[in-house]
Amino acid sequence: MDDADRILASTILTVRRRCEGVTGAEVLERDGFVVSLTNVPDPSLNSTFVEREPSDPAGALVWAEDEMSARGHAFSIEYPPGRWPALDRAIGERGLERLFARSVMTAPLAILPPTEVAGVRIARVETMEEALVLARVDSTAFETPLEISERAFAANVVGVEGSLGLLAWREDEPVGSAVAQAGVGATGVFGVAVVPEARGRGIGAALTVAAARAFPADLAWLLPTEMGRPLYERLGFRDFETWEVWTRPA
The whole-number pLDDT of residue 229 equals 96
What pTM was estimated for this model as a whole? 0.94
Verify that 234 and 115 share a domain, yes or no.
yes
The whole-number pLDDT of residue 2 equals 94
Verify that 168 and 62 share a domain, yes or no.
no
Q: What ranges make up the beta strands (E) of 109-212?
A: 120-124, 163-170, 173-181, 186-194
The whole-number pLDDT of residue 125 equals 97
Verify that 83 and 7 share a domain, yes or no.
yes
The whole-number pLDDT of residue 151 equals 87
Long-range Cβ contact pairs of 112-118 (< 8 A, separation 24 or more)? 112/209, 112/212, 112/213, 112/220, 112/235, 112/236, 113/209, 113/235, 113/236, 114/209, 115/202, 115/205, 115/206, 115/208, 115/209, 115/210, 116/206, 117/168, 117/201, 117/202, 117/203, 117/206
Positions of the chain with pLDDT lower than 70, given as ranges:
none
* CATH at 99: 3.40.630.30
The whole-number pLDDT of residue 154 equals 85
Verify that 129 and 160 share a domain, yes or no.
yes
Domain count, the chain: 2
What is the chain's percent helix, strand, coil content, to nearest 5? 35, 30, 35
The whole-number pLDDT of residue 231 equals 96
What range defines the domain where residue 88 resides?
Answer: 3-104+243-247
